[in-house]
Amino acid sequence: MRLKFVILLCLCSLIVVLPVQAQNVCSEPNGKVTEYAFRSRLAGQIMRYALYTPPCFELSERAAWRYPILYLLHGSDATGTDYWLKLGLADALDAGIRDGWLPPMLVVLPFGGDLANWNYFGERSFANVLLKELVPSVEPTFRADGQRATRAIGGISRGGFWAFHLAFLYPGVFSAVGGHSAFFSLSHAPSANPLVLAQRAPDLDTLYIWLDHGRYDYAAPNIALLSQRLSQRGIPHQYVVYPEGRHEAAYWRAHVTDYLAFYGAAWRDFQHRR
pLDDT in tens, 116-126: 999 888 889 99
Select from 12, 4, 17 the least CA-distant residue to 269: 17
How many Å apart are CA 34 and CA 56, to the nearest integer?
14
Mind listing the pLDDT tens digit for each residue in 245-261?
Answer: 999 999 999 999 999 99
pLDDT in the model for residue 25: 67
* Positive or negative: CA dihedral 45, 188, 71, 179: positive
* Contacts of residue 48, Cβ cutoff 8 Å, sequence gap at least 6: 35, 36, 37, 80, 81, 110, 111
DSSP 216-240: T-TTHHHHHHHHHHHHHTT---EEE
Q: What is the pTM of this model?
A: 0.89
Nearest to 267 by CA among 110, 145, 109: 145
* Cα→Cα distances 222→54, 153, 160, 270, Å: 35, 20, 12, 33
Is the pLDDT confidence value at 228 over 90?
yes
d(CA 17, CA 97): 10
In the predicted structure, residue 20 carries a pLDDT above the cut 90 = no
Residue 64: band (very low, low, confident or very high) from pLDDT cuts 50, 70, 90: confident
Identify which has the larger pLDDT, 188 or 160. 160
pLDDT at 62: 57
Give me the pLDDT at residue 58, please: 86
User: Measured between alpha carbons, how far is 184 from 144 in angstroms, rounded to an integer?
Assistant: 30
Query: pLDDT above 90 covers what percent of the chain?
Result: 80
Q: Is the pLDDT of residue 6 over 90?
A: no
Question: What is the mean pLDDT of the segment spanning 207-225?
Answer: 98
> What confidence category does residue 65 fall into, taking pLDDT thresholds of 50, 70 and 90?
confident
**Other Cβ atoms within 10 Å of 243 Cβ, number:** 11
Q: What is the pLDDT of residues 129-183, one digit of tens each?
A: 999 999 999 999 999 999 999 999 999 999 999 999 999 999 999 999 999 999 9
Distance CA 214, CA 212 (A): 7
User: What does the alpha-carbon distance between residue 23 and residue 1 come to, in Å, rounded to a whole number?
Assistant: 30
Superfamily of domain 2-15+28-266: Alpha/Beta hydrolase fold, catalytic domain (3.40.50.1820)
Residue 9: pLDDT over 50: no
Predicted pLDDT of residue 255 = 98
